[in-house]
Every structure is written in C-alpha cells, then in structure tokens.
Structure 1
Amino acid sequence: MDVRICQLVAVIFLQISITAAQNNDREILLALKDVWQNTPPSWDDGSDPCGSWDGISCTNSRVTALTLSSMKLIGGLPGDIGHLTELQILDLSYNTGLSGSLTSQIGNLRKLTNLILVGCRFSGPIPDTIGNLERLVYLSLNSNGFTGPIPSSIGNLKNLYWLDLSANKLTGSIPVSSGTTPGLDVLIHTKHFHFGDNQLSGDIPLGLFNSNMSLIHLLYENNALTGTIPSTLGLVTSLEVVRLDRNRLSGDVPSNINNLIHVTEMFLSNNRLTGPVPNLSGMNLLNYLDLSNNTFDQSLVPSWFSTLLALTTIKLQNTNLVGELRAAMFSIPQLQNVDLSNNQINGTLNIGSNPSTQLQLVDLRTNQIAAFAQRRQYHIDLILMDNPICMESGVTDRYCSLPTVTNASYSTPWNNCVPPSCGSSLVSSPNCRCAYPYTGSFFFKAPSFSSLGNATIYNSLQDSLMTFFQKADFPVDSVSLKNPSRNLDDYLVINLEVFPSGQTSFNRTAILTLGFALSNQTFKPTKTFNTYVFLSENYDNFLPEISGTGGIRHKSSNIGIIIGSGIGGCVFVVLLVLAVTYASRQKRQAETTSRRSQPFANWDQTNMTSGVPELKGARSFTFDELKKYTNNFSEVNNIGAGGYGMVYRGSLSNGQLIAIKRAQQGSTQGGLEFKTEIELLSRVHHKNVVGLIGFCFDQGEQMLVYEYIVNGTLKDSLSGRSGIRLDWMWRLKIALGAAKGLQYLHDLADPPIIHRDVKTNNILLDEQLVAKVADFGLSKPLSGANKTHVTTQVKGTMGYMDPEYYMTQQLTEKSDVYSFGVVMLELITARKPIVKGRYIVRDVREAMNTNKELYGLHKVLDMTIGLSNKVKGLERFVDLALRCVEEMGNQRPAMSEVVKELEGIMALGGFNPDTESSPSTSASYEAIGKDYNHPYSNDSLNAYSGGFLPQKLHPK
C-alpha cells in the first residue's frame, strides 16, 4: 500500500512539474508578445500556444521551435527567451524591425540546433555565451549590425555545419585556439565559414587551417585583413570556394595553393599580393578565377590557362602581365569572360579561328597590343581601346571604343498563356494567374559563371525551386526569376517571386514555411549557383489562417501517464500555480506603472548604497554636504543655468573641484534625466567620457555631482568665449578624443549606449584639452530587455539631429554618427549648425570643390586654423564628416571607423597627441564671469523634445 502511495505521489509531482513547465513556456511567449509589435493575430488567442499559435512548434506541450520569419516584427530580443529551455529552432529572419543587442541569455538554450537571425537589425557584440550552444548546427547572424570581435567561444560549437556572420560590422582578429581558449580552427566539422563584408583586421592566423578540416566554403571578402595568405590554406583540400578578395593581404601567394583541386571559384582580387602569379595548374574544376588588382611580379600570361577546361571567367586586370596571348586560351570550351585590361600585353592578338561558342567579352584595354590577326568576324565584345593598334584605322575600329552596354535582362516566361491584366498590387504568375507573390532577392556569392543572359541557367534554378517546393508539399503554384545583375560585391543578385497555389494570397503558415526554408538553407541550389543568402521583402496580403494547411504549426502531444486518483490534486495545484502566476503578473504590471509615474520609487532613500541598482563608484551625497561644499549654493558659485536647473561649482573636503547640477523642484522630465544619467554614467569609465562622482537624492532634491572640467565646452572654445585658441592639430585631437568616447559608448559599454544629443556644447575640454563626452540626460541603452533602441518621441538638438531618426523615430548608433559629423563641420568652420535658416551641412557641400586645394572651402573655414600647408588632411577630414552626415544610416561609418580615419589623418600631419602641450589661453576660466555658460548647463533652450520641427530647419 505504501509503495502504491509513493508511486501515486511521484506521478502527481511529475504531472505537476510538466504542467508547470508548459505554463512557464506560455508565460514566456506572452512576455515576448508584450515586447514585440506585429505578432501574428493567432497570438491574441488565449488558448494553448502549442495548439493554435502561428510560428510555434511543440513536443509534449513544450515549445521546441519558434519560427517567425517575414512577420514585420518590431522590438528586441529580451532575456526571457533564455527560459524556453526545450527550444531547438529559433528563426526570426527578415524582420527589419527587430533590433538592439543579442541577449546573453541566448546561451541558456542548450538544446538549440538552429539559430537564424538573417536580415534583422540586431547590433552590439555577439555574446560569448553563444559558445554554450554545443548542439548548434546552423548559426546564421548575417545581414545585421553586430559589432565587436568574433567570440572565440564559437570554437566550442563542435557540431556546427553552417557559420555565417557576414554583412555585419565585426572588428578585431580571427580567433584561433590557444591553451584553454577555443578558436575557429577546432571547428573541423564545419563546412561553411562566411565572414565577408565586415571590418575584420590583422593577419589570417597560420593556425586557422589544418588538414582535419572539412570546409567547403571560405568567405572572408571585403574586410581589412593584412599579412600573407597562410600556407596552411593548402592543407584544406575539401575547399570548393575561396573568397579573400578586397582585403589588404600582401606577400606571395603560397605555392601549395594548387593543392586545392576541388576549388571551383577563387577570388584573390583587390589586395596587395606580390611575387609571381600563382600557378594553379591541376585545379581542373576551377570555373571562376579573379586575381585582379594586385602587384604581382612582371610575368608572362600563364600558359596553364588553356589546360583548365572548366574555366568560365578569367579576371587578371592590373596584374603586371606581359607578352603575347596564346590563341588556345580563347578555345576553353566554357569560357565566357576574359578581362586582362591594364597590363602590358603586347605583340599580335590572335583569338584563333574557333574560340569558345560561349565567349562574350574580351577586355584588353590599356595594353601594348600592336596588331590583330582577325581570322573571321567575331560575335564577341572585344575591347582594344588605349592600345597602339587603335592609333591606326581599319577593320579594328569597332574594337577601339567601349561597346554599347545592354543590360542583360531575364524574366521567367509565360507558360503558353496570355497574362491577364491584374489590378492593384496583384501580379501575374508564369501560369497567368493574378496573385500576391512572396518576394525577395537571392544573393549568390560565388556562381560558377559570369554571363547574365543565359536563360538555360535561370531555367534550371527555377526548376530546382519548383521541385523543392513540390516535394515539400508547399502551397506554391509557380516561381518567377527576374533582373539578374552583379552588385558591387560581385555577387549575383536575382529577384524571386513565389506565387500561391489556388488562392490569391498566402496565409501566415505558408509564409513562415517559405521563409524558414530559405533562411535555413533547406533549399539547396546546384553548384552552378553555389552558396547564397536570401533576403525577403515584407508580405502584407495574408489570407486568414485555415487549419489543416500544413506548415510549421503542430498540435502538442499529451502526457501518457494519467492516474485517476492524482487528477484532482494536479488540477488543484495547477490552478494554484496559475493563480500565483496571474497575481505575479498583475503585481509586475502595477510596479511598471509605478516606475513610469515615479522614476525613483524603487530607490531606497534610507539606504542609497543598496537602493540604487548597478552603481559602480558613484557616491551618494546628502543635501547638507553639497550645501556646505557650495557655500549654501551661493550666487558666486552659480556658474550656469538651463531648463534642467542651476549648475554650481563646489569643492570637496579633499580639495577636489566639482560641478553640481541641481534640478528644478518638481521637474518630471528632469527626474527622468537625472535617473538616466546616474544609471548610465555609473557604468561607464573612459578618459573621454565625463566622470560622475556622485548624486544627491535627499530632502526632495535631485543633484548630479561631476568632475569639474576647467576649460568648459568645445562650443565656447570655437566661439572664442573661453579664451582658448585652437589650431588645426588641436581640433583633430579633440575630434579624435570625442570619437573615442562615443566609440566606447557604442561598442564597449554594457549595455551599449546611444548618446542622442552629441553636440559641441556636450563635449568638454579638461586642463590638457582632453575631450570628454558629457550630458547623458537623453541617452538610451541598447538593451535586449526593452525597446529603448526605438523611441516614440524624437529628442535631441536642432541642427545635430539625424534626419532618418527624425522621420522614422528609429534611434540607432548611426544617429550619434550623424550628430558627430555636424560637430566635425563645426570644428572646421566655427559656425553654429543653423544660422538664419542656413544649415552647415548644406553650406559645406555647396561650397566645396574637390578639384581645388582644401576643396575650395576658404570662405567657410575658420580663419583661426590657418589656410597654409600646415592644414594637412583637411580634405580627408571633410570627406569623413560628409560620410557621417549621409541621409541614410547604413551609408554612414561606425564610430570605430571614424576613430581609425581620424588617427590616420593625425598621422598624416605627424602629430602625437600624447606629447603635445596644450595651447595657451588668453583668459582664465574664472575670469570669464557668470555670463559664461558652464558645460553642465544642458543648453536646453536649443533642445528638441518631440512636437513640430520647423521645415526650414529640417536637416537635409
């Protein structure tokens, strides 16, 4: 009897724990729903998420897959996601409204096999905790805005097959293992290394490659990698695609590179490679070869070209080739494109009598070709301009100018039908049916061909797509491919339209299924196209959800162990758990409301050290202490005023000078700014960020205590009010210091911080003229746990405000970059951003002439910096400033790039800021008097906080 009771109790507790876990998953999904906008309508259903919610898959009533691609979600990825402990697949791709940092709690999802966040706007560093996901097979974080280094902890992901971190802003070196620290070299089972379009730097480590690796795709294009190509690359004989183009690689190409006999595409172009042109004989599968724009030793055109019968494309422009071309090269059976321009090829050109039937372009411009042995009329675009032969007249005249450019066009043809006239935004499918297609673009990073007009190739891609969709039982009627082109990255871009079957629209289940199939690389193209990224567009024409249509939604299975005698107890416990959960949620909501109305309600006034969260080094002062340090807030110590309140100078008992920012009584906005500055500044410590000494929250007072910055603001130095004369090199030093402060906030602060009010009045200068970024009252942390990266009310200062942020209310770190660009222009002109309706950005752009010395900006430059040859690097400085104030944020550099460029400009002038003495002042700080605004006055009369921004002042 006792045994049966024990068994019954065990079963009851098992049922209770399972039910509690199920309810916990539901609560987490509800928390996600609170954070995200535009969740599917089915998420408003209060029933079991495993039974009816789009994008949710379950096993035994536990959430195992969350796939919400192409849903137009807006928000961040909160730490709550880390509590879905049974989750195996997380796909949030193609939601450009998802932003903020990637929470470190992602590392709690130990059962995750697929983490796919393609084409969102996540930013900040990739957390080291991602190395905890040891079951991970697919890791796709490409096409976001991630910054910082590649986490070495990724080396722990021993089951990884696909690693794609491309098209981000990652910096630093490539991590390899050292001692107990893992690295990418230990990922011997990974097939794909995709790291292109980042800002990676340093050498490619010799230890990155070894013979145990099974890599097939190695993509490091468009970074800032330096040093030589390591000889160990030749050990990875499984490689099929190698892209190291558009870096700063130098030295000889290793001689063993021709061990890579399975490589079909090799891109080494636009580097600084030297030595002989690499011998690739024996690489008989090679289709596409691009070695262009390197400084190889002068050498003859390689004879081994004609032995590689799979070649479709040969690109060696500007590689120091000499000698005559052999006719055999043009007879390679599949050859389509030859570009040997800008070399020293000479003699007589002989294409031969039987060139490849697929040959379309031979570009030999800017060489030394003296004659052309034309055997017959060739239907080839042959370019011989800027060769000696073109100085004569005759049959070669048609080759001595650029051919007429005809954009290669392709569009899937109709299937023996007449397309109807489709109204509105409906589109005719290849089967001549009007519908709303699911659209997007393929980016093929290493296709085996260069021709854009070959319909046979596109037909094969179309057929493989339809075969895939049909085998997977997707509700697809037909697909259409359009407008193939090559972008600046030399990727093949093809637009895709997928049409629904039997309806004019897809439902959400079908879109989620399609999105996951393409983001997860479930669809595999032929090797003709090779690796790809798919980026979808928004889909706005959903049909109502219909059960039984298939897709990723599944009913959860029931627990098989049900004992009658335990049901009553289980129900009771479950109800109790639900009641407690409901009460907790209500309490949390009430606390949230309270926090919003009373920002300091959760601060313990009686115990400030423990009552204020996450303070590091900020001291709590009493009102009486600060009253004493300012001589009872005397008039003589009043050094400024603003909308926030008064600013006083004081002196601590140890003699340290301080500046005290005292809020006006009853200022709600001031209270929020007060709390923000304390919580943010207590976490940041950098020589180019103003130091917070402490605060006062006593007797109804709200005061911030800063280090006293003796030389005031940059604004006052530029205007001459501070008495400091700034020459060109000191302006560069100040710009670099401020940029480093902002870079620290964006890339190294935890969480990353957007300042939101960068201006010359918020850049302070200490006794050594070290620039310090100040005033964090409007700042926003980029935390994954909230939506502070998205603001519903635009705030900032007119003239410095990012127009994209103003128009979209989407705040990103590029908003600070824009404001800093205006500061840079202010540094060279000493003009306010807006004067009598004239905007500094527009004035500089209209005045500059890049063909003149100093860009012809003499009329707008501040005469104080001088116009002699001592103003070295001014043109680069202006170029950088104008890049910072581009209309679109994605066209602006990151602050890390700004810092590097400013360092380069300073080096150009031979300036060492660490040894340079400060310029003299014509007036001391104290002598300026009370009319001089102190740097902490907040200058709020110029601040903008929502409402109407006059059109004539709108940044353009």
Structure 2
Amino acid sequence: MASFGGFPYAAILLVLCILHVDVVRGQITHPTEVSALNAIKDRLIDPMNKLKKWNRGDPCTSNWTGVICHKIPNDAYLHVTELELFNMNLSGTLAPEVGLLSQLNKLDFMWNNLTGNIPKEIGNITTLTLITLNGNQLSGSLPDEIGYLQKLNRLQIDQNQISGPIPKSFGNLTSMKHFHMNNNSLSGRIPTELFRLPVLLHLLVDTNNLSGPLPPELAETRSLKILQADNNNFSGSSIPAVYNNIRTLLKLSLRNCSLQGVIPDLSGIPDLGYFDLSHNFLNGTIPANFSGLPNLQFLDFQSNILDTIPDAFEPPKAVTLLLFGNRVCDTSNPARAAGLCQPTFVNDAPSGHGPQVSLNCAPCPTDRNYEYSPSSPLPCFCAVPLGVGFRLKSPGIADFRSYKEAFEIDSTSVLDLSVYQLYIEQYTWEAGPRLNMHLKLFPNNTNLFTISEVMRLRQLLAGWQITLSDIFGPYELLNFTLGSYADDFPTVVSSGLNKGALAGILAGTIIAAIAVSVVSTLFIVRRRSKRRTVSRRSLDIKIQSTTSEEVDNFAVLSRYSVKIDGVRSFTFEEMATATNDFDDSAEIGQGGYGKVYKGKLADGTAVAIKRAHEDSLQGSKEFVTEIELLSRLHHRNLVSLIGYCDEEDEQMLVYEFMPNGTLRDHLSATCKRPLNFAQRLHIALGAAKGILYLHTEADPPIFHRDVKATNILLDSKFVAKVADFGLSRLAPVPDIEGKLPAHISTVVKGTPGYLDPEYFLTHKLTEKSDVYSLGVVLLELLTGMKPIQFGKNIVREVNTAYRSGDISGIIDSRMSWCPPEFATRFLSLGLKCCQDDTDARPYMAEIARELDAIRSALPEGEELMSVTSMEMSSSGTLTQSTSNSLITTTGEHFDISHASSSGVPSRMAMNPR
C-alpha cells in the first residue's frame, strides 16, 4: 500500500474525507440526538477517557465510541440505533435526555458504576428492544413508563440497588422474554400481570425483598421456563398446588424464601429438571411422584423440617436429591436417608486448565500471542484465539461435567463454528448458582480470524443473537477480548454507514482531501518522529495496555478486564479529593487495619474509605482477601464493596457509607436511641442469614472468622449486614474421593471474647466457630454487655444467670418491652451457640430458623416498629465509631404488616427487670 512517511495514504484520505463531510455538509446525525448524546456525556464521569471521541466531530460520521447509527428510509439524517457502552468504568448518572434518542433499539450500560435513578424518559423510546443496565449502582424505583415499550424483549437491571415494587405496567410488555431483576432491593409482591405475558421465558427476581404469598397466577403462564426467586421473604406462604399445571417450566428455584407448608405434587410439569426449595420451613414428606418426572435431575430440599421419605419414592439414579438439615436425617432408622443427608456446598469442581502444549510440538510463535489449538484436527497447530468471558445466569443443571459436550455442540452451532474451534479454558460455579466460563475461540485451521469474522462473532454474542438450549438458561457476555487482533482494526468503522455510503463520501470529497493531505501528513510525520525513541519491544507491550485508546470506536470490542459485580479501581487522587485530603474531620472510625473516613465521590455518592496503616501495606493478605471475597458475594445481609485503591504506597477499600454505624454503637451505654426488642431480633436474624449464605450458598463456602458486633453494620432501615472479610477463609471442599474434611487447620485469628474455645485450643476452624461468635453477639443483643468487660466474660455471666432461673438482672433495661418467655428463648439459643462442645452447637440454618420462629411468635402489634419510626431514629449521622468500616448496600425493608398506624407498638410491657 502506498504511504507517506510510513503512514498509508488510504487511511489519511479516509479521515480527511470525513472531516470534509463535517465542514461541507454540517452534522448529518439528527441534531436532537447530537444534543442528547452531549447531555448524556455531561452526566457521565469517564476516568479512563474512553469517550474522548465524543468531544469532536459528528457522532455517526466521526465514529463516537459505542454509538452505532443507521439511515432511516425517507429521512435526511442518520439516527443513533445502538448505544453500547458496557464495561467502560463509567460513573455518574444516566441523563434523562436519553429519551430523545427516538430510534434507539439497544441501550447498553452493563458493568459500569452508574448511580442515581433510571430515567422515566426511557419510556419515550418506543423502538427499544434491549435495555441492559445490570452491574451498576443504580437506585430508586423502576419507572412505570418502561411498561410503554411494546417492542422491549429484554430488561436487565440485575446487580444494582433498585428498590420499590415491580410496576404492574410491566404486564403490558407483550414482547418481553427476559426479565433479569435479581440482586436488588425490590419489595412488595410479584405482580400477577407478569404471568400473563405471552412469550415470557425467564423471570429472575432472586435476592430482593419481595414478600407476600406466592402468586397462584403463575399457573397461567404460557411459556415461562425459568423462575428463580431465591432469597426473598414470602413469609407464611405455601407453594400453591396449582403450580402443577405449569406445562413449560424447566427450573423452579425458591431457596431461602421463608416458605411453609408441604411440598405439593408437581408431577404434572413434564419437563421439570431443577427444583430447589432448600432453607425454608417446609414440613411433612417428599411427594413420591417426583420419581416419575423423566427430565428431573436435581432436587434440593436441604434445611427444611421434612420428616419422611415415602416408601414409594425411588429417585432415578440420575437425580441428585439433597436432604441435609431435615428431621428425616435425624431419625432412629437412618438407612432410608443413607447418601441423601450429606451436606453439599459446591455444584461440581472447576474444570481448571486443560493441556495446551504437546511434548512433541515446537513452541508457538510469540509475536501475536499464538497458542496451540487444543482440539484442532491438525497436530501442533498454532493460532491466535479470541477470549470470551461468558456466564450462565440461571442454568437448569447442577453438574456441568455431564453437559459440557452438549454446551460445546450447542454454542458452536449457533455461532456457526466447528466444535473444535471452541475451548472451554475454565469454568467456575458462583453464588446464585451461576456458571462463569472463560472460552477461547480458535480460527478454522488458519492462523488468524479475519476482521469481518471477529466482528460477526462479537455481534452475535453482544447482541444477544444466540439462543442456547433451554437447559442452559439465560446467558450474559462478560468480556470479548480482541488481544492481538486489536491492532488490525481500521480506525473508521462501526458507524452503521454501509460501504456504498462511505464510497460516495470518498468520491465527493477526494479533491478536498488531497488539498489538505500534505499538511496533515507533515503533522503526522512530526508526531511520529517524537516517538522514535520508543523501542519496538516497548511498543509491542503497549499494544496490550492501550488497545482501548488506539481503537476507541471499538472500545467495546477491545481488551478489558472482566468486571466482577461492580468492583472499581480508584486512584489515590480520587480518594484524597473524596476525603478533603484525609482531613481529621472526615475520620469516622479506627481499627487494627487502619482508619475509616467518610468520603464523597465525584458523582456525589457517600462512601466509607478504609485506609491501611503503613505497616499493613505491601500485599496485605487481608486487603487481597476482602477484595476477592466481596467481589463475588451478593446477599442483602452482607456488606457490598464498591472498589479499592492500590497505588502511591496506599491500600484502601471503598464501601458504601453506613449511616447507622455498627451494632455495637447501638448497644453502648451512650446510645441515645436504644434498640427495642423487635429491632434486636430482626438484626440477629439478618446477621444469621448473612452468615448462613457464607456457609451454604457461597461457592466455595466461606468461614468468616471474625463475627462480632462491630462487624455487623446497620443501614438506614436498621437492616443488618455482616462486614469485614479480611480474616475469612474458604471452607474445605470434598477431596478426590468425595469426602468432606471436617475443618481447616489454620493459625488462630479473631477477636478475644468472640473466639471459639475449640478453635483456640486446636487451631481447627469449622463453621461452628462462626456459630460460637454469633452466639456471643446474640447475648450482647439481649444484655447490652460487652463480650469481656471488667474481667467478666459474657458467656459465663449469662450462663450463671440462666441456670439460676432468674435472668431479669442481665436483660438490657433500655428495652421498653421484652416478655420473659421471649428473652428466655433468645438467651437459650445464644447459649446453645456458645457451648464448648462443637458438635453440640446448632448449624447456622437452625439458628436462622429459630430466630424466625421467635419473630413469628411475637404478639400482633409487637413484631416491628414502622419504617417511619425507625427512619427517625437514624436521622443523625454517627461521628465516631470503633468499627473498621461503616458501609452498606441498600437492604431489605422491615415488614410492617403488624405495626400500628402510629408506628408504635400497640401494647407496651415493662421490662421484667
């Protein structure tokens, strides 16, 4: 190709042509949409400068990053049809002017750090088919106006902080197939209108604050295949028997939903394959007719109150049935439950990394990151793969190993690839459960993909244009890594203009291009001469780290790290600005790790910043552990990590600010608004649920190792959230023979007064170590005492009073209402947790069940204060704390169904003391 100074003439001319179009013809993107895009940019914070192209030229002809345009028939303007800005580390808010993009089909801001509300103006874009806003920090309620979008078929707002009810207007979305609303703080009932949508396939609403009875109208659904509603509070609700009429359902997951009653007959659901009812309060027996379902493969009934396995029940060999934590496992004749009562923590083991290099093969070239194609029919075949981060969000399987081949065949078929072109480098089960995979796509017996082939594959994956078999459920794209291909992409693409349009522009402006080409070329040569001191090796290395800058218009295609649930990397400058240079007035706490500051990010978000002492720096294990663990833990009773800073010899963790501080703050003698009994009970239950999630649902499970009152934080609604995972350890997993080790041998760490005596003596850490620590917290909640004070140990003091039969002297006198029968029951549970004998302590599921039972037994009118009253008690901001961190995510709302209209309990009883 002809060039000047090493720079190709064609590229110069093409750039100059587009510059000339702007000069001669003016903007050819619709002016209203140009204004809208500028307004959107003004509301965004772009620390990585990913949107620098938005500062020049016309959006469609200057190829603004992530802006894809098309020509509308009989219209003189180009229109923005897709806005693809996923995983660009953007923060700020989504401007209401987005509603002016009248021809938009796809709105994609996945995996950023956006805050604020979802603009109701989105409801004006009647052409929208896809809204993907998942993986941000959006809050507020869902706009009713989204229900106006008749063409919308996918709404993904999962993994945000959205609250309020699901709008009934969503029942108007007749084209809707995919509702992904999990991991938020949505409340109220599931609208029955959703189940009348004609083509709805997937409804994911797990890990919210939904309540009320399960809607029997679910039986009216025409096409629903997956309902995942785990981790909600359908307290007192049973599973409607009419669910047996759902003919299309493949997966029904209602784990940890406070369900009661019996398990109904669901033998009328012919394709049911995955059924999870674990961690509820279901009783009675297991229906015998489950054994007649031909596609059934997974039944999880762990941690209920089931007491019978019917003689007629014979689960097929292919079915996994889990019963651990039920009464049936404690019967005098356990033979019937043999093999069914073992605890399970993981779906299956990660695949790890397969062999890449044969001993008989010469090394691949290193200049473009060549690798051996593991499945190629040609021996020792080297090629450059594409990397794809891919996650199954709600798979209808529990063991991927037996479905791995089916997935390979299925996915390569829809991608129009041969099976040997796909290599599953690694897969890992995550909480949910969700299946995270890293895939590599290899060229078809050629060394490199063509650029058009890369673009085709990316469009299929990112455009939600592939349809996997129903058994694999919905998927999401986490990243699409260009790697060595990034340097080959042309710099002017992705505008949506076809080749004919570009050719016409080129022909019409060639003279103007030549006229200015000499000046432009000299400018380019001058810039290149300044860079000649950079070695070739340095340039090769830089390609990998600056791809997104050199190919801005393909930033969504270029190399970027996988975004794990919104964890953000902050600069030291951002942290200093947020805290006014770490001014003493911003300090709100101090602990062994360092100081905690209240900060304010550039977008106005209040945060808590935990800054390490100098002697805690340089690869602090606690620092790394907390980032790794919190990045993959999502539960309404666990604290959420916003980001971290690791530069300038500084290590900081950034959390959401917790206005109500720590539990210990509210148990201290100086607290002006002491907690009432119902609040303390609710906090205890929340903490137990958070730790239960760590023990049974995190994958792999986690032992916290430092449960204490200062690590239980309270949000604006006094919802408890367990925090500070710096000392946490992964629980043991089954060995190669499937045996589960009973403990981890580790150096003793924790806080005096909360330490499990058995762990302290033997260095054997188990889940029962956390149980002991939580038991101490329960005793603190009822007594107000500290674990160790004036040489007295709280466990010993409470035990003595309990055995004497008079506990009135140790109950916190600041509680205005606490009947002896409830205090006794609460203290009894705390003492059971604190027994020296590890085996005698209850499991966390039993603790949560007992606390919920105590709450349910409270007299009507005493269950909880109104939300308004509790908000009044949280109106002040704590100025000092002994906690390592003051942090939260939006949590569940209190159930006020039994509160009086005034917000004050209708009957007050004096403390028995």
TM-score, reference length from structure 1: 0.51
SS at structure 2 position matched to 1:200: strand
The reply to whether residue 492 of structure 1 matches residue 435 of structure 2 is yes
Aligned 8 A contact 1:513 1:551 in 2:
no
Deviation at 1:150, TM superposition (A): 1.3
Partner Cα separation in structure 1 for residue 72 and residue 219 of structure 2: 50
Q: Provide the residue aligned with 1:94 in structure 2.
A: 87
Q: Provide the residue aligned with 2:271 in structure 1.
A: 285
The reply to whether residue 221 of structure 1 matches residue 206 of structure 2 is yes
CA deviations over 1:162-204 (Å, ceiling 9, x no partner)? 111111111111111xxxxxx2111122111111111111222
Partner Cα separation in structure 2 for residue 557 and residue 857 of structure 1: 80
Q: Provide the residue aligned with 1:446 in structure 2.
A: 394
Q: Provide the residue aligned with 2:373 in structure 1.
A: 429
Q: Provide the residue aligned with 2:294 in structure 1.
A: 309
Q: Which amino acid aligns with 1:264?
A: L
Aligned 8 A contact 1:60 1:557 in 2:
no
CA deviations over 1:18-53 (Å, ceiling 9, x no partner)? 744349688998999997545499999989963877
Partner Cα separation in structure 2 for residue 857 and residue 85 of structure 1: 71
Q: Provide the residue aligned with 2:783 in structure 1.
A: none
Deviation at 1:517, TM superposition (A): 2.9
Aligned counterpart for 2:339 among listed residues 355, 376, 382: 382
Partner Cα separation in structure 2 for residue 370 and residue 827 of structure 1: 45
CA deviations over 1:438-494 (Å, ceiling 9, x no partner)? 43443223323222322xx222322333334347x9xx9932213333322112232
Using a 3 Å threshold, how does the CA distance of structure 1 residues 228 and 26 change in structure 2: closer, same or farther? closer
CA deviations over 1:252-299 (Å, ceiling 9, x no partner)? 222221221110111122111123312212111111111222223x42
Output aligned runs, 1:183-262, within 5 Å: 183-205=169-191, 207-209=192-194, 211-250=196-235, 251-262=237-248
Q: Provide the residue aligned with 1:520 in structure 2.
A: 463
Aligned counterpart for 2:109 among listed residues 74, 98, 117: 117
Unaligned 5+ segments in structure 2 are 1-20, 517-576, 589-596, 615-622, 624-640, 672-709, 712-723, 728-748, 755-772, 781-785, 793-808, 816-825, 831-850, 852-873, 875-879, 909-913
Using a 3 Å threshold, how does the CA distance of structure 1 residues 50 and 162 change in structure 2: closer, same or farther? same
Using a 3 Å threshold, how does the CA distance of structure 1 residues 132 and 420 change in structure 2: closer, same or farther? farther
Q: Which amino acid aligns with 1:893?
A: T
Q: Provide the residue aligned with 1:390 in structure 2.
A: none
Q: Provide the residue aligned with 2:98 in structure 1.
A: 106
Aligned 8 A contact 1:218 1:243 in 2:
yes
CA deviations over 1:588-622 (Å, ceiling 9, x no partner)? xxxxxxxxxxxxxxxxxxxxxxxxxxxxxxxxxxx
Unaligned 5+ segments in structure 1 are 1-13, 65-83, 177-182, 346-364, 374-380, 386-400, 576-753, 765-774, 832-838, 917-956
Partner Cα separation in structure 2 for residue 322 and residue 369 of structure 1: 12
Q: Which amino acid aligns with 2:315?
A: F
Q: Provide the residue aligned with 1:271 in structure 2.
A: 257
Aligned 8 A contact 2:348 2:399 in 1:
no
The reply to whether residue 329 of structure 1 matches residue 336 of structure 2 is no
SS at structure 2 position matched to 1:107: helix
Deviation at 1:160, TM superposition (A): 0.9
Q: Which amino acid aligns with 2:226?
A: V
Using a 3 Å threshold, how does the CA distance of structure 1 residues 812 and 143 change in structure 2: closer, same or farther? farther
Output aligned runs, 1:334-345, within 5 Å: 335-345=318-328
Partner Cα separation in structure 2 for residue 804 and residue 860 of structure 1: 40
The reply to whether residue 175 of structure 1 matches residue 117 of structure 2 is no
The reply to whether residue 893 of structure 1 matches residue 888 of structure 2 is yes
Aligned 8 A contact 1:410 1:484 in 2:
yes
SS at structure 1 position matched to 2:410: helix
Partner Cα separation in structure 2 for residue 507 and residue 882 of structure 1: 59
Aligned 8 A contact 1:164 1:195 in 2:
yes
Partner Cα separation in structure 2 for residue 451 and residue 260 of structure 1: 25
SS at structure 2 position matched to 1:535: strand
Q: Provide the residue aligned with 2:592 in structure 1.
A: none
Q: Provide the residue aligned with 1:162 in structure 2.
A: 154
Question: Over alpha carbons, which structure has the higher Rg?
Answer: 1
Aligned counterpart for 2:28 among listed residues 21, 25, 42: 21
Q: Which amino acid aligns with 1:306?
A: S
Using a 3 Å threshold, how does the CA distance of structure 1 residues 558 and 761 change in structure 2: closer, same or farther? closer
CA deviations over 1:805-852 (Å, ceiling 9, x no partner)? 554799999555179859986996999xxxxxxx99999974562354
Aligned 8 A contact 1:59 1:556 in 2:
no
The reply to whether residue 152 of structure 1 matches residue 144 of structure 2 is yes
Using a 3 Å threshold, how does the CA distance of structure 1 residues 193 and 245 change in structure 2: closer, same or farther? same
CA deviations over 1:834-879 (Å, ceiling 9, x no partner)? xxxxx99999974562354546264899xxxx997347799999xx
Q: Provide the residue aligned with 1:409 in structure 2.
A: 351
The reply to whether residue 50 of structure 1 matches residue 61 of structure 2 is yes
Aligned 8 A contact 1:336 1:451 in 2:
no
The reply to whether residue 127 of structure 1 matches residue 134 of structure 2 is no
Aligned 8 A contact 2:392 2:473 in 1:
yes
Q: Provide the residue aligned with 1:817 in structure 2.
A: 657
Using a 3 Å threshold, how does the CA distance of structure 1 residues 464 and 504 change in structure 2: closer, same or farther? same
Partner Cα separation in structure 1 for residue 114 and residue 40 of structure 2: 16
Partner Cα separation in structure 1 for residue 385 and residue 503 of structure 2: 43
Q: Provide the residue aligned with 2:280 in structure 1.
A: 294
CA deviations over 1:118-171 (Å, ceiling 9, x no partner)? 222222211111111111111111122111111111111111111111111111
Using a 3 Å threshold, how does the CA distance of structure 1 residues 803 and 295 change in structure 2: closer, same or farther? closer
Partner Cα separation in structure 2 for residue 254 and residue 803 of structure 1: 39
Aligned 8 A contact 1:60 1:556 in 2:
no
Using a 3 Å threshold, how does the CA distance of structure 1 residues 763 and 46 change in structure 2: closer, same or farther? closer
Q: Provide the residue aligned with 2:333 in structure 1.
A: 369
Partner Cα separation in structure 2 for residue 441 and residue 549 of structure 1: 26
Partner Cα separation in structure 2 for residue 561 and residue 549 of structure 1: 15
Partner Cα separation in structure 1 for residue 463 and residue 183 of structure 2: 20
Partner Cα separation in structure 2 for residue 277 and residue 554 of structure 1: 57
Aligned 8 A contact 1:26 1:49 in 2:
no
The sequence identity of aligned pairs, in percent, is 22
**Count of paired positions:** 596
Q: Which amino acid aligns with 2:218?
A: L
SS at structure 2 position matched to 1:544: helix
Deviation at 1:111, TM superposition (A): 0.8
The reply to whether residue 856 of structure 1 matches residue 787 of structure 2 is yes
Output aligned runs, 1:422-821, within 5 Å: 427-430=371-374, 431=376, 437-454=385-402, 457-470=403-416, 478-499=421-442, 514-536=457-479, 541-547=484-490, 554-555=497-498, 557-558=500-501, 756=579, 761=585, 779=600, 782=603, 806-807=645-646, 815=655, 817=657
Partner Cα separation in structure 2 for residue 228 and residue 202 of structure 1: 10
Aligned 8 A contact 1:756 1:796 in 2:
no
Partner Cα separation in structure 2 for residue 414 and residue 761 of structure 1: 56
Partner Cα separation in structure 1 for residue 371 and residue 194 of structure 2: 49
Aligned 8 A contact 1:43 1:49 in 2:
no
Deviation at 1:324, TM superposition (A): 3.6
Partner Cα separation in structure 2 for residue 237 and residue 542 of structure 1: 45
Using a 3 Å threshold, how does the CA distance of structure 1 residues 110 and 808 change in structure 2: closer, same or farther? farther
Q: Which amino acid aligns with 1:87?
A: V
Partner Cα separation in structure 2 for residue 338 and residue 521 of structure 1: 34
Aligned 8 A contact 2:249 2:271 in 1:
yes
Q: Which amino acid aligns with 2:155?
A: L
Using a 3 Å threshold, how does the CA distance of structure 1 residues 437 and 32 change in structure 2: closer, same or farther? farther
Partner Cα separation in structure 2 for residue 796 and residue 323 of structure 1: 53
